[in-house]
Chain A
Amino acid sequence: MKKVLLLFLVFAFLFSCAERKVTSTKETVQPEQEQTKKEKMTLPEQKEGIAPVRQENVQESAREVGVKSLEEVLKNDIHFDFDRYDIKTEDKATLKEIADWLIQNSGVSIRIEGNCDERGTNEYNLGLGDRRANSAKSYLMTLGVSSSRIQTISYGEERPLCTESNETCWARNRRDHFTAAE
């Protein structure tokens, strides 16, 4: 119990520091990158909308990164096409968020679990799941996360989220799932 409390306090301290640090330095260090990402993400819905005030936007996204728990950052799976292991454009934001969080919170490691749909064969799917997990790992490494903080495991078709035999279900199962590593 004591340990948990201590851990909580340490985290709370880290987060508060991170937030402050980010808000003060963000504008000079990363404004361009953050803005591009934000624009990209909001583009479809806000095509003719009012451009958000730049500074506010940056602060908003920074606070998100700082305040979110690891579980929240890792809650979104990324998905793959059948028999493919390349990272899709729409999943790059998810990976960026994970990378940002990890960079700001040293000492935490994650595990990437590569999964496949049921259509392929068992062994090949295990290989495919391995490549999927490693694709995400490589991507996080290019964003600056040390490889020693990323474990990977392939579950092949062994741990489906959904067990119906249709494309919607298969698409959900072709995923990398992220979790905190002990």
Chain B
Amino acid sequence: MKKLLIPITCILVFFIVICLGHEAYAKIYIDIDSPALRQFPMALYDFGEDKIGQELTGIVRNDLEFTRLFYFVRKEAFIEEKGDDFNPADWSPIGVEAVLKGDITVTDKINVVVRLYDVVETKIILYKQYISAKPALRSLAHRISNDIYYALTGRKGIFNTKIAFVSKGSKIKELVMMDFDGARLHKTGFRKSMMLALHASADGSSLIISASGGRQWSIYLLNFTKGSVRRIFSSKGINIAGDFFSGGKSFVFSSSKDGSPDIYVFDIASGRSRRLTSSYWIDISPSLSPDDRSIAFVSDRSGNPNIYTMSINGDNVQRVTFEDKYNTSPSWSPAGDLIAYSGLVKGKNQIFTVKPDATNARQLTDSGNNEEPDFSPDGRFITFTSDRDGYKAIYIMTTGGENQRRVSPHGYRAFGPEWLSN
């Protein structure tokens, strides 16, 4: 069995987290489901004056700003010194609703104390101490961002998640991982001349991927806990991995092993596959709904590729896309309320979202070609491939299409992002 190079960030990073005070998580400060969402005004002090303190501040600030949920008031407006006691009267006049004060002490370890204050109700809502090893600074910073995010929204943050994707060399493709913000990029050592369709299990421990050396398309199972790679399915024709079922024991895939490409379910333990569609047409790219009960897929049964849904036994096929003539790459949102896909508009692929009942189709991108959308685990963001800067690279944006930015390094050719859950 081939071994993967396990990057340090894939190994669980252990922190010591000590709750130093009573935390009132009951109140939701930011209702992220609210349609009329305003940015929540905050004050953020630097964790420390030195390089490591500045770095920590920068990461936390970037994390929170990326969500577009927070607004940081300029430091020049602060009345209170960092060492002063928290006083709501210093903050309400300038409209600040929460104040974050953090201190960092660096010895052989990093020691951070974080206090988050609620200005309106005059109370501390997060008071924690974090101790970690020095190389884990980024993980620690993201962990702090997650705690702040949770304290204010009541939802789990995505700041410690990773994106897996394929790097595109001239002759060879390689599976690569990076933090959701593009930091800590590392190669896994899994290389093939052709590679696509990455799909992760719900716990982020396993990944299935389709790859070919030029003769045959096979599906490989990569286990990050064991660091193993196993070829689990191969046949003539194409075999393209689709989503895992919730339990991680089986997955959907498309294959032309019996003729034209159709949708199948593969059971990992038995190695058996079960056919769901049987048509003369191309049926391809299955994406599972989060409740495991429906499948979105692409079919050209209408004469051009479009997105369809069907129940898990292959019945009740419904067409979802009607605009334009080339709609592919469906990806179901974690809440089940949206399907993201790529649609060809004026000769260029653009990312859209649509409700599974075929209403509310909404175009999110308009620059270059944009393909292969995949939702973040919390459903608030989408990662995708775009060539808007002249080469294919990995981008992220909010589910509403805001804040579109490249996260893979400048000049680095990449495609096929899959947002891992942790």
Using a CB–CB cutoff of 8 Å, the interface residues on chain A facing chain B are 83, 119-124, 126-131, 134, 151-156, 158
Check B88 for interface membership: any CB of A closer than 8 A. no
- Beyond A122-B196, A156-B194, 18 additional contacts (C-beta under 8 Å) are A119-B344, A119-B369, A121-B371, A122-B371, A122-B415, A122-B416, A123-B240, A123-B328, A124-B284, A126-B196, A130-B260, A131-B261, A134-B256, A151-B236, A152-B236, A154-B237, A154-B238, A158-B193
A124 vs B306: C-alpha distance when bound (angstroms): 10
**B329, A124: Cβ atoms under 8 Å?**
yes
Residues of B within 8 A of A129 (CB): 238
Bits for B342-373, please: 1 = Cβ < 8 Å to A, else 0: 10100101000000000000000000010110
Check B217 for interface membership: any CB of A closer than 8 A. yes
**CB-CB under 8 A for A130 and B415, given A120-B328, A121-B371, A124-B284:** no
Taking residues whose C-beta sits less than 8 angstroms from the other chain, chain B's interface range is 35 or more
Q: List 21 A-B contacts (CB under 8 A).
A: A119-B344, A119-B347, A119-B349, A120-B326, A120-B344, A121-B371, A121-B372, A122-B371, A122-B415, A123-B197, A124-B305, A124-B329, A126-B196, A126-B284, A127-B254, A127-B261, A127-B298, A129-B238, A130-B256, A154-B237, A158-B194
Check B333 for interface membership: any CB of A closer than 8 A. no
**A126, B238: Cβ atoms under 8 Å?**
yes
**B282, A127: Cβ atoms under 8 Å?**
yes
Give chain A nearest CB distance to B170 CB in angstroms: 11
A122 vs B282: C-alpha distance when bound (angstroms): 14
Residues of B within 8 A of A124 (CB): 282, 284-285, 298, 305, 328-329
**B261, A130: Cβ atoms under 8 Å?**
yes
A158 vs B415: C-alpha distance when bound (angstroms): 12
Bits for B260-292, please: 1 = Cβ < 8 Å to A, else 0: 110000000000000000000010110000000
Task: Find residues 213-260 in chain B having any chain A CB closer than 8 Å to their own CB.
Answer: 214-217, 236-238, 240, 254, 256, 259-260
A124 vs B343: C-alpha distance when bound (angstroms): 12
Chain B residue with Cβ nearest A155:
B194
Residues of A within 8 A of B342 (CB): 121
Chain B residue with Cβ nearest A153:
B215
Residues of B within 8 A of A123 (CB): 196-197, 240, 254, 284-285, 298, 328-329
**B304, A127: Cβ atoms under 8 Å?**
no
Residues of A within 8 A of B371 (CB): 121-122
Give chain A nearest CB distance to B182 CB in angstroms: 21
Chain A residue with Cβ nearest B285:
A123
A122 vs B284: C-alpha distance when bound (angstroms): 11
